Structures are given as C-alpha cells and as structure tokens.
C-alpha cells in the first residue's frame, strides 16, 4: 500500500492559518467554543487554536461509526461525556473531513439539545461529490475528489494519522 501525496504540510499550514484569521474576525467578541470531533480532528484542532487570536474555549467529543459487515455505515456512537457547558455559547464543530456528512449532521442535532447560541461547522476536507445530507460546512479548507485519504489525523485502520501531509491510499 502506498500513499500518494495530495496536500503538503505547507499547504495545510497556510489553509489553517487562513481559517484562524477568518474565525478571529467572524467570532470577535463572541463566546466561541471550538468543539473538536475525536479522533481525526486532533491535529487540525491544536494547530487551529494557535491561529485564533481571540479568547475561546475547547470541548471534545468522540464520534465513531461501526461499519456493518457489508461495508455500509453502521450506527453512529457519540461520546459526549467530557463536554463543557455549551449553553449560550457560539459553537464551532471542527472535524477532519466531511464525506457523506451523516456524522456532522448528527452531531449538530446532538449539540442543538445543549442550547448553544449558535452552531457552525468547519472541516479541513470536503468530499462534496459524496455528501448526501442537507448540511453544507460553514468553513472548508480544501475540497477533494472521491478518494480515501490519510495523514494529518486521518487514518486507515488506525494507521497513518501521524503523517504531516495528506495523501491518497493506493493499493
Ligand atoms: P461521514 O459521516 O460520511 O461524513 O464520515 C465522516 C467520518 O468518516 C470522518 O470523520 C472520518 O473519520 C471518516 N472518513 C471519511 N472519509 C475518509 C477518508 O477519506 N479518510 C479517512 N477517514 C475518512
Ligand atoms: Mg472522524
């Protein structure tokens, strides 16, 4: 299995810096809470926070979908045990990738119950051609074609998350 480079560490860094500047403007004087979706968003969240020039809080939740035997998406499990209070906060859900969009759409619904003032979504990558839900991400760093990608937090069977760049898996 090889990894064909798609986005360099430099390109990712430039996009994350740009996103940080936009968020600093858009959320100036707002009670911003970054809500990272584990595990894939860890690198994005830690890099992004350092590029946001306004005070903000951090929350983390875990979402994992157990694939059925035939490869179709299984039930989505959400662990929100460690969330800070979101009531009245301006919440930005941050995930590594929006693929079908089912995960983020479900998470937005879950977070809505916690009565934040607003909810928006930010993703590093968007496979627009595969998205089946109504949700459009509010902030996107890169649109990518329908390929399975790894690196910068994204995994294949738990591996490759450590790569500083993003590449497509080739068998
Ligand atoms: P969705 O619910 O279909 O949008 O999928 C969301 C989750 O599937 C992401 O948070 C990733 O964990 C995983 N995923 C989707 N596409 C890829 C990929 O190309 N590489 C690695 N993980 C992916
Ligand atoms: Mg994920």
Residue 95 Cα: closest atom of ligand 1: 10
**Ligand nearest the Cα atom of residue 102:** 1
Ligand 1 atom 19: the closest Cα is on which residue? 148
**pTM (2 decimals)?**
0.94
**Ligand with smallest separation from the Cα of 123:** 1
- CA-nearest residue for atom 17, ligand 1, is 148
pLDDT at 70: 55
* pLDDT at residue 72 in the model: 59
Residues flanking ligand 1, CB < 6 Å: 40, 95-103, 148-150, 154
Low-confidence ranges of the chain (pLDDT < 50): none
Ligand whose nearest atom lies closest to the CA of 38: 2
**CA 127 to ligand 1: nearest atom:** 16
Per-state percent for the chain, helix, strand, coil, to nearest 5: 25, 35, 40
Give the H or E element holding residue 61. Answer: strand 57-65
In sequence order, what are the residues at sequence separation of 6 or more whose Cβ sits closer than 8 angstroms to the Cβ of residue 33? 56, 57, 58, 59, 84, 86, 89, 90, 91, 92, 116
- What is the CA(103)–ligand 1 centre distance, in A? 8
Q: What pLDDT is stored for residue 141 in this prediction? A: 98
Q: Angle 3-7-11 (CA atoms, 0-180°, nearest 5)? A: 150
137 — phi, psi (to 5°)? -65, 140
Determine the distance separating the centroid of ligand 1 and the alpha carbon of 22, expressed in angstroms: 25
Active site residues: 99
CA of 65 to the centre of ligand 1 (A): 9
Ligand 2: centre distance to CA 10 (Å) = 22
- pLDDT the model gives residue 171: 84
Q: Are 60 and 86 in contact (CB under 8 A)?
A: no
Give the residue among 70, 59, 137 at the shortest CA–CA distance from 99: 137
Helix (H, G, I), strand (E, B) or coil at 47: helix
């Amino acid at each position: 299995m090889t990894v064909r480079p798609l986005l360099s560490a430099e390109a990712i860094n430039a996009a994350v810096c740009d996103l940080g500047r936009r968020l600093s403007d858009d959320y100036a004087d707002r009670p911003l809470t970054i809500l990272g979706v584990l595990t894939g968003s860890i690198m994005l969240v830690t890099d992004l926070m350092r590029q946001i020039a306004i005070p903000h809080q951090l929350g983390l939740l875990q979402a994992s979908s157990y694939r059925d035997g035939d490869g179709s998406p299984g039930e989505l499990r959400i662990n929100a045990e460690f969330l800070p209070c979101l009531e009245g906060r301006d919440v930005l859900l941050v995930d590594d990738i929006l693929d079908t969009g089912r995960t983020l759409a479900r998470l937005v619904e879950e977070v809505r119950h916690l009565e934040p003032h607003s909810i928006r979504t930010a993703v590093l990558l968007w496979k627009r051609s595969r998205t089946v839900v109504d949700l459009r991400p509010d902030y996107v760093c890169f649109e990518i074609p329908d390929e399975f990608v790894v690196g910068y937090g994204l995994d294949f069977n738990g591996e490759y998350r450590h790569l500083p760049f993003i590449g497509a898996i080739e068998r």
